[in-house]
Amino acid sequence: AGFRGLDGVWSKDGESVFYLHDGRELRRRHVASGREATLYRAAGLHGIVRSPDGRSLAVCGGNVIALVPATSGEVRRIPFDGVTEAGWGADLIAARGVDLWRAPLDGSAPQKLNAPGNRAPGFSLHPDGKRIALTAGRTGTEIWTMKLGAP
Above 90 in pLDDT, residue 117? Answer: no
In the three-class reduction of DSSP (H, G, I as helix; E, B as strand; rest coil), residue 82 is classed as coil
Q: What is the DSSP letter of 16?
A: E
Q: What is the pLDDT of residue 7?
A: 83
Q: What is the pLDDT of residue 37?
A: 95
Rg (CA), the chain: 16
Q: What is the pLDDT of residue 127?
A: 81
- 25-34 pLDDT, tens digit each: 999 999 999 9
Count of CB atoms within 10 A of residue 102's CB?
19
Q: Which residue has the higher pLDDT, 96 or 1?
A: 96
Label residue 139 by pLDDT band (50, 70, 90).
low
pTM: 0.85
Long-range contact pairs involving 13-16 (C-beta distance under 8 Å, separation at least 24) = 13/54
Give φ, ψ of 32 to 5 degrees.
-65, -40
Above 70 in pLDDT, residue 151? Answer: no
Give φ, ψ of 138 to 5 degrees.
-105, -50
